[in-house]
Copies of this chain bind each other. A is one copy, B any other.
Amino acid sequence: MSVRTTARETGDSSRKRAGNGAAVGDVADDIGLDALVGHAGYAVRRFQIWIFQDFIRTLGAVDIRPTQYSVLTVIGANPGLSQMAVAKRLGIERARLVHLLDSLEQRKLVKRVKSKADRRSHALHLTAQGETALAKFKRLAAEHERHVEEKIGKENREQLIRILAGFT
């Protein structure tokens, strides 16, 4: 593969490849990826970047990023969890979760309640405001998910989720 081209890119990559119909856009189309096309990780990474960008854009109006959304969702579905439990479940460093929760708590979406059973730990809950907000975030996230479906197709999206179910 790797349609090896003139390797003249260096000279002027701004050239506009007119009218051949194929890919009006990028000069980059000429550049072969060689071994990268056989690596799942490369495609997965590029896709992950696209999907996060769309998520961030779609939830931009409410200023919620993917990690914040995942934290709110898990707390909403499992009220009373400790910070350690959330961190472990989502694969977030506990040190980082501290800052994430600081921000969410300042925004009155989450509250830390001192646990009676173990006074070292906090039981995490959504505030009433947080519950309402999360419902809205979920509607926006569903909209984002429709963008994904439009991008790769309904069947492919479902297959993807099935294939990767073990990593959640």
Contacts and interface: CB of A to CB of B under 8 A. Distances in A.
B91 A49 contact: yes
A11 interface: yes
Interface residues of A, number: 79
Contacts of A138: 35
B31 A89 contact: yes
- Among A33, A85, A163, chain B packs the most CB atoms within 10 A around the CB of A85
B167 A10 contact: no
Given A91-B49, A159-B159, A10 B40 contact: no
Contacts of A70: 36, 42
Interface in A1-54: 2, 4-5, 7-14, 26-28, 31-52
B88 A26 contact: yes
A85 to B, nearest CB: 4
Interface of A: 2, 4-5, 7-14, 26-28, 31-52, 55, 66, 70, 73-74, 76-82, 84-85, 88-89, 91, 115-118, 120-124, 138, 141, 144-145, 148, 152, 156-157, 159-161, 163-168
